[in-house]
Structure 1
Amino acid sequence: MTGRVTTTVAELSELLGSEQPPALLDVRWALGDPHGRDHYADGHIPGAVYVDLDTELAASPSPEGGRHPLPDFTGLQESARRWGIGDGRRVVVYDDLGNTAAARAWWLLRYAGVTEVTLLDGALGAWRTAGLPLESGVPTDPAPGDITLRPGALPVTDADGAAELAVSGLLLDARAGERYRGEVEPVDPRAGHIPGAVSAPTGKNLAADGTFLAPELLRKRFEERGADPATRIGVYCGSGVTAAHQIAALEIAGFEATLFPGSWSAWSADPARPAATGDRP
Protein backbone atom coordinates (compact mmCIF):
# COMPACT_ATOMS: atom_id res chain seq x y z
CA MET A 1 0.00 0.00 0.00
CA THR A 2 1.03 3.61 -0.37
CA GLY A 3 0.13 6.84 1.37
CA ARG A 4 -0.84 7.74 4.91
CA VAL A 5 -3.48 5.81 6.80
CA THR A 6 -4.83 8.58 9.06
CA THR A 7 -5.54 12.30 9.18
CA THR A 8 -5.76 14.16 12.48
CA VAL A 9 -8.69 16.35 13.52
CA ALA A 10 -6.45 19.44 13.33
CA GLU A 11 -5.35 18.55 9.82
CA LEU A 12 -8.91 17.91 8.65
CA SER A 13 -10.15 21.20 10.12
CA GLU A 14 -7.45 23.04 8.21
CA LEU A 15 -8.10 21.12 5.01
CA LEU A 16 -11.83 21.84 5.10
CA GLY A 17 -11.05 25.54 5.13
CA SER A 18 -8.58 25.33 2.26
CA GLU A 19 -9.07 26.00 -1.45
CA GLN A 20 -8.98 22.26 -2.13
CA PRO A 21 -11.00 20.56 0.62
CA PRO A 22 -11.15 16.77 0.65
CA ALA A 23 -14.20 14.70 -0.08
CA LEU A 24 -15.46 13.79 3.40
CA LEU A 25 -17.39 10.54 3.90
CA ASP A 26 -19.49 9.65 6.95
CA VAL A 27 -19.91 5.87 7.21
CA ARG A 28 -22.26 5.69 10.19
CA TRP A 29 -22.90 1.96 10.73
CA ALA A 30 -22.91 -0.55 13.56
CA LEU A 31 -23.91 -4.20 13.72
CA GLY A 32 -27.57 -4.39 14.70
CA ASP A 33 -28.19 -0.65 14.25
CA PRO A 34 -30.00 0.17 10.97
CA HIS A 35 -30.30 3.89 11.72
CA GLY A 36 -27.00 5.19 10.39
CA ARG A 37 -28.63 7.78 8.16
CA ASP A 38 -30.63 9.12 11.09
CA HIS A 39 -27.50 9.41 13.22
CA TYR A 40 -25.80 11.26 10.37
CA ALA A 41 -28.75 13.65 10.09
CA ASP A 42 -28.62 14.31 13.83
CA GLY A 43 -25.09 15.63 13.54
CA HIS A 44 -22.11 15.23 11.22
CA ILE A 45 -18.94 17.08 10.30
CA PRO A 46 -19.84 19.98 7.98
CA GLY A 47 -19.52 18.96 4.35
CA ALA A 48 -19.60 15.23 5.01
CA VAL A 49 -21.60 12.96 2.69
CA TYR A 50 -23.45 9.97 4.16
CA VAL A 51 -22.33 6.58 2.88
CA ASP A 52 -24.55 3.53 3.39
CA LEU A 53 -22.33 0.55 4.17
CA ASP A 54 -24.97 -2.11 3.51
CA THR A 55 -26.05 -0.83 0.09
CA GLU A 56 -23.08 1.16 -1.24
CA LEU A 57 -20.07 -0.63 0.22
CA ALA A 58 -21.36 -4.19 -0.18
CA ALA A 59 -23.31 -6.41 -2.55
CA SER A 60 -26.37 -8.33 -1.42
CA PRO A 61 -25.58 -11.03 1.15
CA SER A 62 -25.32 -14.66 0.12
CA PRO A 63 -24.07 -17.90 1.71
CA GLU A 64 -21.09 -17.93 -0.65
CA GLY A 65 -20.19 -14.26 -0.29
CA GLY A 66 -21.16 -13.69 3.32
CA ARG A 67 -23.07 -10.79 4.85
CA HIS A 68 -21.08 -8.05 3.10
CA PRO A 69 -19.63 -9.26 -0.20
CA LEU A 70 -17.50 -6.83 -2.15
CA PRO A 71 -19.74 -4.50 -4.16
CA ASP A 72 -20.10 -4.29 -7.91
CA PHE A 73 -17.44 -1.77 -8.83
CA THR A 74 -19.46 -0.11 -11.56
CA GLY A 75 -22.01 0.75 -8.90
CA LEU A 76 -19.30 1.75 -6.43
CA GLN A 77 -17.80 4.12 -9.00
CA GLU A 78 -21.21 5.74 -9.52
CA SER A 79 -21.54 6.15 -5.75
CA ALA A 80 -18.01 7.53 -5.41
CA ARG A 81 -18.74 10.13 -8.08
CA ARG A 82 -21.96 11.05 -6.28
CA TRP A 83 -19.92 11.51 -3.11
CA GLY A 84 -17.90 14.12 -4.99
CA ILE A 85 -14.70 12.12 -5.43
CA GLY A 86 -12.65 13.16 -8.44
CA ASP A 87 -9.41 11.76 -9.79
CA GLY A 88 -6.63 13.17 -7.63
CA ARG A 89 -8.95 14.55 -4.93
CA ARG A 90 -8.09 13.69 -1.36
CA VAL A 91 -10.66 11.65 0.61
CA VAL A 92 -11.14 11.48 4.40
CA VAL A 93 -13.44 8.89 5.94
CA TYR A 94 -14.89 8.60 9.45
CA ASP A 95 -17.64 7.01 11.52
CA ASP A 96 -18.73 7.19 15.16
CA LEU A 97 -17.28 3.83 16.14
CA GLY A 98 -13.50 4.18 16.17
CA ASN A 99 -13.39 3.87 12.37
CA THR A 100 -14.28 0.18 12.53
CA ALA A 101 -16.96 0.78 9.89
CA ALA A 102 -15.27 3.64 8.02
CA ALA A 103 -12.30 1.36 7.39
CA ARG A 104 -14.49 -0.57 4.94
CA ALA A 105 -14.71 2.51 2.71
CA TRP A 106 -11.00 3.22 3.24
CA TRP A 107 -10.06 -0.32 2.16
CA LEU A 108 -12.47 -0.42 -0.81
CA LEU A 109 -11.18 2.85 -2.20
CA ARG A 110 -7.58 1.73 -1.72
CA TYR A 111 -8.44 -1.58 -3.40
CA ALA A 112 -9.93 0.40 -6.28
CA GLY A 113 -6.73 2.38 -6.79
CA VAL A 114 -7.46 5.55 -4.78
CA THR A 115 -4.23 6.30 -2.89
CA GLU A 116 -5.12 9.63 -1.25
CA VAL A 117 -7.70 8.29 1.20
CA THR A 118 -7.29 8.37 4.98
CA LEU A 119 -9.24 7.67 8.16
CA LEU A 120 -9.98 10.52 10.56
CA ASP A 121 -7.96 9.39 13.57
CA GLY A 122 -10.27 9.15 16.56
CA ALA A 123 -13.31 9.32 14.27
CA LEU A 124 -16.25 11.59 15.10
CA GLY A 125 -15.49 11.37 18.81
CA ALA A 126 -12.18 13.17 18.33
CA TRP A 127 -13.93 15.94 16.38
CA ARG A 128 -16.46 16.38 19.18
CA THR A 129 -13.75 16.35 21.84
CA ALA A 130 -11.95 19.13 20.00
CA GLY A 131 -15.10 21.25 20.28
CA LEU A 132 -15.46 21.60 16.52
CA PRO A 133 -18.86 22.24 14.94
CA LEU A 134 -21.36 19.74 13.65
CA GLU A 135 -24.21 20.31 11.22
CA SER A 136 -27.56 18.53 11.16
CA GLY A 137 -29.96 17.54 8.42
CA VAL A 138 -29.24 15.93 5.08
CA PRO A 139 -27.57 18.41 2.71
CA THR A 140 -27.83 18.24 -1.07
CA ASP A 141 -25.27 16.09 -2.83
CA PRO A 142 -21.97 17.78 -3.67
CA ALA A 143 -20.94 18.47 -7.24
CA PRO A 144 -20.33 15.07 -8.84
CA GLY A 145 -16.78 13.82 -9.20
CA ASP A 146 -15.08 12.06 -12.07
CA ILE A 147 -13.17 9.32 -10.26
CA THR A 148 -12.28 6.20 -12.22
CA LEU A 149 -11.99 3.11 -10.05
CA ARG A 150 -9.61 0.29 -10.96
CA PRO A 151 -10.17 -2.68 -8.64
CA GLY A 152 -7.33 -5.01 -7.73
CA ALA A 153 -4.77 -2.75 -6.07
CA LEU A 154 -4.88 -4.72 -2.79
CA PRO A 155 -4.80 -8.50 -2.23
CA VAL A 156 -7.91 -10.51 -1.41
CA THR A 157 -8.45 -14.19 -0.82
CA ASP A 158 -11.27 -16.72 -0.63
CA ALA A 159 -12.04 -19.45 1.89
CA ASP A 160 -9.46 -21.84 0.42
CA GLY A 161 -6.83 -19.12 0.54
CA ALA A 162 -7.73 -18.27 4.14
CA ALA A 163 -7.40 -21.92 5.13
CA GLU A 164 -3.98 -22.06 3.48
CA LEU A 165 -2.83 -18.85 5.21
CA ALA A 166 -3.84 -20.34 8.57
CA VAL A 167 -1.37 -23.16 7.92
CA SER A 168 1.53 -21.57 6.04
CA GLY A 169 1.25 -17.92 7.06
CA LEU A 170 -0.63 -15.95 9.72
CA LEU A 171 -4.42 -15.63 9.67
CA LEU A 172 -5.78 -13.07 12.12
CA ASP A 173 -9.37 -13.16 13.40
CA ALA A 174 -10.44 -9.56 14.07
CA ARG A 175 -13.67 -10.38 15.94
CA ALA A 176 -14.19 -10.06 19.68
CA GLY A 177 -12.55 -12.79 21.71
CA GLU A 178 -15.82 -14.40 22.81
CA ARG A 179 -16.85 -14.90 19.19
CA TYR A 180 -13.44 -16.31 18.28
CA ARG A 181 -13.67 -18.77 21.17
CA GLY A 182 -17.18 -19.80 20.10
CA GLU A 183 -18.83 -18.72 23.34
CA VAL A 184 -21.39 -16.58 21.48
CA GLU A 185 -22.40 -16.10 17.87
CA PRO A 186 -25.02 -13.38 17.40
CA VAL A 187 -25.43 -13.35 13.62
CA ASP A 188 -23.63 -16.11 11.72
CA PRO A 189 -24.64 -19.76 11.16
CA ARG A 190 -22.08 -21.37 13.48
CA ALA A 191 -19.85 -20.34 16.37
CA GLY A 192 -16.10 -20.67 16.47
CA HIS A 193 -13.16 -19.69 14.24
CA ILE A 194 -11.21 -20.87 11.23
CA PRO A 195 -8.82 -23.60 12.42
CA GLY A 196 -5.32 -22.17 12.76
CA ALA A 197 -6.47 -18.54 12.97
CA VAL A 198 -5.06 -16.34 15.73
CA SER A 199 -7.31 -14.06 17.78
CA ALA A 200 -6.56 -10.33 17.40
CA PRO A 201 -9.69 -8.31 18.27
CA THR A 202 -10.00 -5.07 16.32
CA GLY A 203 -10.81 -3.01 19.40
CA LYS A 204 -7.29 -3.61 20.72
CA ASN A 205 -5.92 -1.49 17.85
CA LEU A 206 -7.20 1.64 19.57
CA ALA A 207 -6.17 3.76 22.52
CA ALA A 208 -8.71 4.82 25.15
CA ASP A 209 -9.54 7.98 23.18
CA GLY A 210 -10.40 6.02 20.03
CA THR A 211 -7.25 6.90 18.09
CA PHE A 212 -4.96 4.23 16.70
CA LEU A 213 -2.18 3.06 18.99
CA ALA A 214 1.29 4.36 18.14
CA PRO A 215 3.03 2.43 15.33
CA GLU A 216 5.54 0.79 17.68
CA LEU A 217 2.74 -0.45 19.97
CA LEU A 218 0.78 -1.85 17.04
CA ARG A 219 3.90 -3.50 15.71
CA LYS A 220 4.54 -5.16 19.09
CA ARG A 221 0.90 -6.28 19.24
CA PHE A 222 1.07 -8.01 15.89
CA GLU A 223 4.57 -9.41 16.39
CA GLU A 224 3.30 -11.08 19.56
CA ARG A 225 0.74 -12.84 17.36
CA GLY A 226 3.32 -14.06 14.87
CA ALA A 227 3.68 -11.22 12.37
CA ASP A 228 7.04 -10.55 10.79
CA PRO A 229 8.13 -9.14 7.41
CA ALA A 230 8.65 -12.61 5.94
CA THR A 231 5.23 -13.97 6.90
CA ARG A 232 2.16 -13.69 4.67
CA ILE A 233 -0.69 -12.22 6.71
CA GLY A 234 -4.43 -12.57 6.14
CA VAL A 235 -7.32 -11.05 8.08
CA TYR A 236 -10.99 -11.92 8.48
CA CYS A 237 -13.79 -10.88 10.82
CA GLY A 238 -17.54 -11.50 10.75
CA SER A 239 -18.26 -10.09 7.30
CA GLY A 240 -15.19 -8.25 6.03
CA VAL A 241 -15.87 -4.90 7.74
CA THR A 242 -13.78 -4.69 10.91
CA ALA A 243 -11.10 -6.79 9.20
CA ALA A 244 -10.43 -3.71 7.07
CA HIS A 245 -9.70 -1.80 10.29
CA GLN A 246 -7.20 -4.51 11.18
CA ILE A 247 -5.51 -4.07 7.81
CA ALA A 248 -5.27 -0.33 8.46
CA ALA A 249 -3.66 -1.01 11.86
CA LEU A 250 -1.28 -3.50 10.28
CA GLU A 251 -0.24 -0.93 7.70
CA ILE A 252 0.45 1.62 10.44
CA ALA A 253 2.60 -1.07 12.08
CA GLY A 254 4.50 -1.66 8.85
CA PHE A 255 2.83 -4.89 7.65
CA GLU A 256 0.83 -5.70 4.53
CA ALA A 257 -2.16 -8.02 4.78
CA THR A 258 -4.73 -9.80 2.63
CA LEU A 259 -8.48 -9.49 3.24
CA PHE A 260 -10.85 -12.46 3.24
CA PRO A 261 -14.04 -10.53 2.34
CA GLY A 262 -16.48 -13.38 3.02
CA SER A 263 -14.97 -13.84 6.47
CA TRP A 264 -16.68 -15.96 9.11
CA SER A 265 -20.16 -15.30 7.68
CA ALA A 266 -19.21 -17.13 4.46
CA TRP A 267 -16.98 -19.76 6.08
CA SER A 268 -19.57 -20.76 8.69
CA ALA A 269 -22.34 -21.01 6.06
CA ASP A 270 -20.48 -23.88 4.36
CA PRO A 271 -21.06 -27.09 6.35
CA ALA A 272 -17.95 -28.62 4.75
CA ARG A 273 -15.72 -26.04 6.47
CA PRO A 274 -14.50 -27.01 9.95
CA ALA A 275 -14.93 -24.71 12.96
CA ALA A 276 -12.55 -24.58 15.91
CA THR A 277 -13.53 -23.36 19.39
CA GLY A 278 -11.61 -22.29 22.46
CA ASP A 279 -8.79 -19.80 22.87
CA ARG A 280 -6.18 -21.69 20.83
CA PRO A 281 -5.77 -21.58 17.03
Structure 2
Amino acid sequence: MGYIMEKEELLPLLNSVDIRICDCRFKLGSPDVGYSEYEKDHITGAVYFDLEKDLSGDVQEHGGRHPLPDLKTLKDRLESKGISNDTILVAYDGGEGSFASRFVWLLSYLGHQKVYVLNGGYRAWKDAGYPIDTNQKEYTSTEYQIDLNETVFASYEKVKDYTTKRPDDTVLIDSRESKRFEGIEEPIDKKAGHIPGAVNKVWTKVLENGYYKKKDDLQANFTDIGKDKEIIVYCGSGVTASPNYVALKEAGFKDVRIYIGSFSDWISYDDNPID
Protein backbone atom coordinates (compact mmCIF):
# COMPACT_ATOMS: atom_id res chain seq x y z
CA MET A 1 0.00 0.00 0.00
CA GLY A 2 1.29 3.44 -0.92
CA TYR A 3 1.14 6.34 1.48
CA ILE A 4 1.57 9.30 -0.87
CA MET A 5 -1.14 11.21 -2.74
CA GLU A 6 -0.39 13.91 -5.31
CA LYS A 7 -2.35 17.16 -5.24
CA GLU A 8 -3.64 16.42 -8.75
CA GLU A 9 -5.14 13.19 -7.43
CA LEU A 10 -6.81 14.91 -4.48
CA LEU A 11 -8.33 17.78 -6.44
CA PRO A 12 -11.17 15.81 -8.15
CA LEU A 13 -11.96 14.08 -4.84
CA LEU A 14 -12.24 17.30 -2.86
CA ASN A 15 -16.00 17.21 -2.33
CA SER A 16 -16.32 13.46 -1.84
CA VAL A 17 -18.12 12.38 1.33
CA ASP A 18 -15.66 9.50 1.59
CA ILE A 19 -12.63 11.76 2.12
CA ARG A 20 -11.43 13.73 5.09
CA ILE A 21 -8.53 16.12 4.64
CA CYS A 22 -6.47 16.59 7.79
CA ASP A 23 -4.45 19.75 8.37
CA CYS A 24 -1.42 18.87 10.53
CA ARG A 25 0.55 22.11 10.32
CA PHE A 26 2.68 22.72 13.37
CA LYS A 27 5.79 24.57 14.50
CA LEU A 28 7.99 22.99 17.14
CA GLY A 29 8.64 25.47 19.93
CA SER A 30 5.63 27.59 18.90
CA PRO A 31 2.68 25.22 19.40
CA ASP A 32 -0.06 27.76 18.61
CA VAL A 33 1.24 28.61 15.13
CA GLY A 34 -0.24 25.61 13.34
CA TYR A 35 -3.82 26.19 14.40
CA SER A 36 -3.48 29.91 13.72
CA GLU A 37 -2.40 29.08 10.17
CA TYR A 38 -5.37 26.72 9.83
CA GLU A 39 -7.75 29.47 10.99
CA LYS A 40 -6.25 31.85 8.44
CA ASP A 41 -6.83 29.50 5.52
CA HIS A 42 -6.74 25.79 4.72
CA ILE A 43 -7.71 23.29 2.03
CA THR A 44 -11.47 23.36 1.57
CA GLY A 45 -13.19 21.05 4.02
CA ALA A 46 -10.06 20.29 6.05
CA VAL A 47 -10.14 19.53 9.78
CA TYR A 48 -7.24 20.27 12.12
CA PHE A 49 -5.12 17.82 14.10
CA ASP A 50 -2.56 19.22 16.53
CA LEU A 51 0.77 17.40 16.94
CA GLU A 52 0.90 17.85 20.71
CA LYS A 53 -2.81 17.90 21.62
CA ASP A 54 -4.09 15.19 19.26
CA LEU A 55 -1.17 13.18 17.87
CA SER A 56 0.88 12.95 21.09
CA GLY A 57 0.23 12.20 24.73
CA ASP A 58 1.32 13.97 27.88
CA VAL A 59 5.06 13.99 28.51
CA GLN A 60 6.03 11.85 31.50
CA GLU A 61 9.22 10.38 32.95
CA HIS A 62 9.46 7.86 30.12
CA GLY A 63 7.94 7.78 26.64
CA GLY A 64 9.83 10.61 25.01
CA ARG A 65 8.96 14.18 24.07
CA HIS A 66 6.06 13.17 21.80
CA PRO A 67 4.71 9.90 23.24
CA LEU A 68 1.74 8.02 21.91
CA PRO A 69 -1.56 9.80 22.57
CA ASP A 70 -4.29 8.32 24.70
CA LEU A 71 -6.03 6.18 22.10
CA LYS A 72 -9.51 6.66 23.54
CA THR A 73 -9.06 10.43 23.30
CA LEU A 74 -7.80 10.14 19.74
CA LYS A 75 -10.73 7.86 18.87
CA ASP A 76 -13.15 10.49 20.15
CA ARG A 77 -11.35 13.16 18.15
CA LEU A 78 -11.60 11.14 14.93
CA GLU A 79 -15.29 10.46 15.51
CA SER A 80 -16.01 14.13 16.15
CA LYS A 81 -14.57 14.94 12.72
CA GLY A 82 -16.84 12.45 10.96
CA ILE A 83 -14.06 9.93 10.38
CA SER A 84 -14.93 6.25 10.21
CA ASN A 85 -12.78 3.23 9.39
CA ASP A 86 -13.76 3.51 5.72
CA THR A 87 -12.89 7.20 5.35
CA ILE A 88 -10.02 8.04 3.00
CA LEU A 89 -7.66 10.25 5.00
CA VAL A 90 -5.28 12.74 3.38
CA ALA A 91 -2.94 14.59 5.73
CA TYR A 92 -0.88 17.65 4.97
CA ASP A 93 1.45 20.03 6.76
CA GLY A 94 3.23 23.16 5.61
CA GLY A 95 5.49 21.17 3.31
CA GLU A 96 7.91 19.87 5.94
CA GLY A 97 6.54 16.35 5.54
CA SER A 98 7.18 15.29 9.13
CA PHE A 99 3.92 16.31 10.81
CA ALA A 100 1.65 14.86 8.11
CA SER A 101 3.75 11.69 8.07
CA ARG A 102 3.35 11.39 11.85
CA PHE A 103 -0.42 11.38 11.28
CA VAL A 104 -0.07 8.75 8.55
CA TRP A 105 2.01 6.45 10.76
CA LEU A 106 -0.28 6.93 13.77
CA LEU A 107 -3.42 6.10 11.80
CA SER A 108 -1.64 3.10 10.29
CA TYR A 109 -0.94 1.99 13.85
CA LEU A 110 -4.66 2.32 14.62
CA GLY A 111 -5.26 -0.07 11.72
CA HIS A 112 -6.60 2.48 9.23
CA GLN A 113 -6.35 1.15 5.68
CA LYS A 114 -6.54 4.29 3.54
CA VAL A 115 -4.34 7.10 4.84
CA TYR A 116 -2.04 9.29 2.77
CA VAL A 117 0.30 12.24 3.03
CA LEU A 118 -0.36 15.03 0.52
CA ASN A 119 2.87 15.36 -1.43
CA GLY A 120 4.23 18.89 -1.27
CA GLY A 121 1.93 19.89 1.58
CA TYR A 122 -0.15 23.02 1.85
CA ARG A 123 2.42 25.20 0.13
CA ALA A 124 2.25 23.15 -3.06
CA TRP A 125 -1.56 23.07 -2.97
CA LYS A 126 -1.84 26.83 -2.49
CA ASP A 127 0.83 27.61 -5.09
CA ALA A 128 -1.17 25.59 -7.61
CA GLY A 129 -4.18 27.84 -7.02
CA TYR A 130 -6.31 24.97 -5.76
CA PRO A 131 -9.36 25.62 -3.52
CA ILE A 132 -8.75 26.97 -0.04
CA ASP A 133 -11.16 28.23 2.59
CA THR A 134 -11.43 29.98 5.95
CA ASN A 135 -14.58 28.21 7.12
CA GLN A 136 -14.27 25.36 9.60
CA LYS A 137 -16.69 22.76 8.36
CA GLU A 138 -18.66 20.70 10.89
CA TYR A 139 -19.17 16.98 10.26
CA THR A 140 -21.68 14.52 11.65
CA SER A 141 -20.15 12.36 14.37
CA THR A 142 -19.32 8.78 13.43
CA GLU A 143 -18.11 5.58 15.07
CA TYR A 144 -14.47 4.51 14.81
CA GLN A 145 -13.11 1.11 15.78
CA ILE A 146 -9.42 0.80 16.65
CA ASP A 147 -7.72 -2.38 15.45
CA LEU A 148 -4.09 -1.90 16.43
CA ASN A 149 -1.51 -2.85 13.82
CA GLU A 150 1.42 -3.84 16.02
CA THR A 151 3.57 -4.60 12.95
CA VAL A 152 4.38 -0.88 12.56
CA PHE A 153 5.24 -0.31 16.24
CA ALA A 154 8.55 -0.95 18.02
CA SER A 155 8.40 -0.86 21.80
CA TYR A 156 11.19 0.30 24.09
CA GLU A 157 11.68 -3.32 25.13
CA LYS A 158 12.16 -4.37 21.51
CA VAL A 159 14.82 -1.72 20.95
CA LYS A 160 16.52 -2.61 24.23
CA ASP A 161 16.59 -6.26 23.15
CA TYR A 162 18.13 -5.25 19.82
CA THR A 163 20.99 -3.39 21.49
CA THR A 164 21.93 -6.41 23.57
CA LYS A 165 21.56 -9.12 20.92
CA ARG A 166 22.25 -7.23 17.65
CA PRO A 167 20.30 -9.68 15.45
CA ASP A 168 21.42 -9.81 11.81
CA ASP A 169 17.85 -9.64 10.54
CA THR A 170 17.13 -6.23 12.12
CA VAL A 171 18.34 -2.74 11.19
CA LEU A 172 17.99 0.23 13.56
CA ILE A 173 17.82 3.59 11.73
CA ASP A 174 18.46 6.97 13.37
CA SER A 175 16.72 9.68 11.32
CA ARG A 176 18.32 12.75 12.90
CA GLU A 177 20.92 15.09 11.43
CA SER A 178 24.43 13.63 11.29
CA LYS A 179 25.86 15.96 13.95
CA ARG A 180 23.24 14.83 16.43
CA PHE A 181 23.74 11.18 15.50
CA GLU A 182 27.49 11.50 15.98
CA GLY A 183 27.09 13.38 19.26
CA ILE A 184 28.91 16.45 17.94
CA GLU A 185 26.03 18.69 18.97
CA GLU A 186 22.70 18.19 20.73
CA PRO A 187 20.40 21.22 20.80
CA ILE A 188 17.36 19.50 22.31
CA ASP A 189 18.02 16.43 24.42
CA LYS A 190 20.06 16.25 27.62
CA LYS A 191 22.47 13.64 26.23
CA ALA A 192 24.25 13.43 22.88
CA GLY A 193 24.95 10.48 20.61
CA HIS A 194 22.83 7.60 19.33
CA ILE A 195 21.41 4.24 20.34
CA PRO A 196 24.13 1.58 19.98
CA GLY A 197 24.00 -0.30 16.70
CA ALA A 198 22.03 2.33 14.79
CA VAL A 199 22.86 3.56 11.29
CA ASN A 200 22.20 7.13 10.21
CA LYS A 201 19.68 7.91 7.46
CA VAL A 202 18.81 11.60 7.74
CA TRP A 203 15.09 12.11 7.20
CA THR A 204 15.44 15.18 5.01
CA LYS A 205 17.25 13.09 2.37
CA VAL A 206 13.97 11.47 1.29
CA LEU A 207 12.40 14.85 0.52
CA GLU A 208 13.11 17.57 -2.02
CA ASN A 209 11.38 20.96 -1.92
CA GLY A 210 8.66 19.50 0.27
CA TYR A 211 8.00 16.52 -2.01
CA TYR A 212 8.90 12.90 -1.45
CA LYS A 213 11.47 11.81 -3.98
CA LYS A 214 10.60 9.30 -6.70
CA LYS A 215 10.60 5.60 -5.87
CA ASP A 216 13.93 4.93 -7.59
CA ASP A 217 15.61 7.68 -5.57
CA LEU A 218 14.08 6.41 -2.34
CA GLN A 219 15.33 2.91 -3.09
CA ALA A 220 18.80 4.32 -3.78
CA ASN A 221 18.76 6.09 -0.41
CA PHE A 222 18.35 2.74 1.34
CA THR A 223 20.31 0.58 -1.10
CA ASP A 224 22.64 -0.68 1.64
CA ILE A 225 19.73 -2.19 3.59
CA GLY A 226 18.25 -5.52 2.60
CA LYS A 227 14.53 -5.56 1.95
CA ASP A 228 14.23 -8.78 3.93
CA LYS A 229 15.29 -6.99 7.12
CA GLU A 230 13.10 -5.86 9.97
CA ILE A 231 13.62 -2.11 10.20
CA ILE A 232 13.14 0.01 13.31
CA VAL A 233 13.21 3.76 12.73
CA TYR A 234 13.67 6.43 15.39
CA CYS A 235 14.59 10.11 15.71
CA GLY A 236 14.55 12.51 18.65
CA SER A 237 10.88 12.18 19.61
CA GLY A 238 9.14 10.06 16.98
CA VAL A 239 8.16 12.87 14.59
CA THR A 240 10.93 13.11 11.99
CA ALA A 241 11.25 9.33 11.96
CA SER A 242 7.89 9.32 10.17
CA PRO A 243 9.10 10.54 6.74
CA ASN A 244 11.67 7.74 6.74
CA TYR A 245 8.88 5.30 7.60
CA VAL A 246 6.80 6.51 4.64
CA ALA A 247 9.84 6.54 2.33
CA LEU A 248 10.87 3.00 3.28
CA LYS A 249 7.36 1.72 2.62
CA GLU A 250 7.28 3.53 -0.72
CA ALA A 251 10.67 2.01 -1.58
CA GLY A 252 9.25 -1.47 -1.11
CA PHE A 253 10.35 -2.41 2.41
CA LYS A 254 7.72 -4.58 4.08
CA ASP A 255 8.64 -4.76 7.78
CA VAL A 256 9.10 -1.16 8.99
CA ARG A 257 8.38 0.02 12.52
CA ILE A 258 8.79 3.27 14.46
CA TYR A 259 10.18 3.43 17.97
CA ILE A 260 7.84 6.24 18.91
CA GLY A 261 9.63 7.25 22.12
CA SER A 262 12.87 7.48 20.13
CA PHE A 263 16.13 8.90 21.51
CA SER A 264 14.38 11.12 24.09
CA ASP A 265 12.78 8.00 25.59
CA TRP A 266 15.99 5.95 25.37
CA ILE A 267 17.99 8.47 27.39
CA SER A 268 15.26 8.75 30.04
CA TYR A 269 16.67 5.47 31.40
CA ASP A 270 19.95 6.47 33.05
CA ASP A 271 21.66 3.11 32.58
CA ASN A 272 21.10 2.88 28.81
CA PRO A 273 24.33 3.00 26.78
CA ILE A 274 24.92 5.68 24.14
CA ASP A 275 27.39 5.61 21.25
TM-score (norm: length of structure 1): 0.90
The partner residue of 1:58 within 56, 59, 67 is 56
Task: Summarize deviations over 1:52-110 as a string: whole Å, max 9, x none.
Answer: 11011111012311111111211111011112212311111110133211111111111
Matched, 1:221 2:218: no
Q: Is the 8 A contact 1:84 1:145 kept in 2?
A: yes
Instruction: Write the distance in 2 (CA, Å) between the matches of 1:97 and 1:264.
Output: 24
Aligned residues: 269
Deviates more, 1:78-87 or 1:154-163: 154-163
- 3-state DSSP of counterpart to 1:223: coil
Corresponding position of 1:33: 30
Q: Where do residues 1-281 of structure 1 align in structure 2 (5 Å cutoff)?
A: 3-18=1-16, 20-34=17-31, 35-136=33-134, 139-165=136-162, 167-168=166-167, 169-207=170-208, 209-224=209-224, 227-255=225-253, 256-276=255-275
1:14 Cα shift? 0.7
* Contact 1:165/1:233, CA 8 A, preserved across alignment: no
Identity among equivalent pairs (%): 34
* Contact 2:95–2:124 under 8 Å retained in 1: no
What is the aligned-residue RMSD (CA, Å)? 1.7
Q: Distance in 2 between matches of 1:153 and 1:77?
A: 17
Q: Are the counterparts in 2 of residues 188 and 269 from structure 1 also a CA contact under 8 Å?
A: no
Q: SS in structure 2 opposite 1:101? A: helix
CA distance in structure 2 between the partners assigned to 1:270 and 1:260 by the alignment: 15
How much does 1:31 deviate? 2.0
Query: What is the CA–CA distance in structure 2 between the aligned matches of 1:213 and 1:164, rounded to whole Å?
Result: 33
Measure, in 2, the Cα distance between the counterparts of 1:55 and 1:17. 27
Unmatched tracts of structure 1, length 5 or more: 277-281
Q: Which runs of 5+ in 2 are unaligned?
A: none
CA distance in 2, matches of 1:48, 1:164: 41
Higher strand share: 2
Tell me the TM-score normalized by structure 2: 0.92
Cα gap change, 1:241 to 1:165, in 2 (>3 Å): same
Q: What SS does the aligned partner of 1:196 have? A: coil
Which letter does structure 2 place at the counterpart of 1:64? H
Asked whether the 8 Å contact 1:5–1:119 carries over to 2, the reply is: yes
| Distance in 1 of aligned mates of 2:272 and 2:105 | 27
SS of the residue corresponding to residue 222 of structure 2 reads helix
State how far apart, in whole Å, the 2-side matches of 1:97 and 1:189 are: 29
In the TM superposition, what is the alpha-carbon distance from 1:171 to its structure 2 partner?
0.6
